[in-house]
Structure 1
Amino acid sequence: MKTLQVVAMKWMSASLLGLMTVGAVQADHHGDKQDIVDTAAAAGQFETLAAALEAAGLVETLKGEGPFTVFAPTDEAFAALPEGTVESLLEPENLDQLQAVLTYHVVPGKVMAEQAMDLDSATTVQGQDITISTSYGNVMVNDATVIQADIEASNGVIHVIDSVLLPE
């Protein structure tokens, strides 16, 4: 079981980019849902996330088969980080740290909000667990609030969150 989890986590890390981008479900010209990355890009509120995914080399992974569950912070969530944090993470010498932060926002598999509410935690692609709880009727992931849930994509689901999750 542990070996399967390690393989799944490595595979999910490769798919993180697409999941991290969040937006309204968009249909392509064939009427099919777009992948996580394209769905997020179309939303217009994940420019920082998209840039981070590109810098981390995770776009193609998140455009992969999946399924993935991405807890996607908005541009406002990234702007709320201490000054210089995003710029520092985007520097080439901090690639490992950037990848760790981004993969901490991705859970292997497709976890819809109703399912998440029955969980206490989930293991991320990065390897650490996130805490899932409810508070005053809101679903919380660590200290972040899910502000929009269940944005379905062809390779998973996006849940929009109001702050950036930072691994320990």
Structure 2
Amino acid sequence: MTLIKTLAAAVLAMGLAGGAATAASHSGAKDIVDTAVETDGFDTLVAAVQAAGLVETLKGEGPFTVFAPTDDAFAALGTTVEDLLKPENKDKLVAVLTYHVVPGKVMSGDLVDDATPATVQGSNVTIDLDNGAMVNDAKVVTADIETSNGVIHVIDKVLVPEGVL
């Protein structure tokens, strides 16, 4: 996982968090990217967003709902993560990451059991509220991290659209 840590360090060194002042001046909150950069447990997600070229998109106006996998969730994929971060796999990485994003700001109180919202990637995810909030087979471990351009819900697994990996 040293490649992931190196990419995460590079992202931070490039001043990715530099937009925080701009976002904060508008709403008092940081955007999705700056929030992820400053939150422990999202080094892999931040590196993946940078490698996929999605930083500017997720710093955009939105609003977006992001189901954000933790570093442990990415680690559970094994070597798949390092493969996804290779430049030749950028399309697959973009597909995986955009499968974690739903247009609009959906707070946990807005979730509807058995709903199947469309993701930015184009496929749908399934919301299950029967045993705690779930997105497909990923458990929501922290909900409603509000940002200036949407909301982050932390999940314990990486969501993979059918046929991508």
TM-score past 0.5 threshold: yes
- Decide whether the 8 Å contact of 1:117 with 1:139 is kept in 2: no
| Deviation at residue 116 of structure 1 after TM alignment | 1.3
- In the alignment of these two chains, the number of paired residues is 140
Structure 2 counterparts to residues 97-108 of structure 1, below 5 A: 97-108=92-103
TM-score computed with the length of structure 2 as normaliser: 0.81
> Which amino acid is 1:61 matched to?
T
> Which amino acid is 2:52 matched to?
A
Other-structure match for 2:3: none
| Deviation at residue 159 of structure 1 after TM alignment | 0.3
- Decide whether the 8 Å contact of 2:66 with 2:151 is kept in 1: yes
* Whole-Å separation in 1 of the counterparts to 2:136 and 2:158: 10
> Which amino acid is 1:44 matched to?
D
The sequence identity of aligned pairs, in percent, is 66
Q: Equivalent residue of 1:130, what SS?
A: coil
Moved more, 64-73 or 112-121: 112-121
- Give structure 2 stretches of 5+ with no counterpart: 1-22
Other-structure match for 1:89: 84
* Whole-Å separation in 2 of the counterparts to 1:117 and 1:37: 26
Other-structure match for 2:11: none
| Deviation at residue 120 of structure 1 after TM alignment | 1.4
Q: 1:75 aligns with which of 71, 86, 90?
A: 71
Q: 2:140 aligns with which of 146, 155, 166?
A: 146
* Whole-Å separation in 1 of the counterparts to 2:26 and 2:102: 28
- Give structure 1 stretches of 5+ with no counterpart: 1-26
- Decide whether the 8 Å contact of 1:152 with 1:158 is kept in 2: yes
| Deviation at residue 91 of structure 1 after TM alignment | 0.6
* Whole-Å separation in 2 of the counterparts to 1:166 and 1:28: 32
Q: Which runs of 4+ in 1 moved over 2 A?
A: 27-31
TM-score computed with the length of structure 1 as normaliser: 0.79
Q: Which has the higher contact order (CA 8 A, sep 6+)?
A: 1
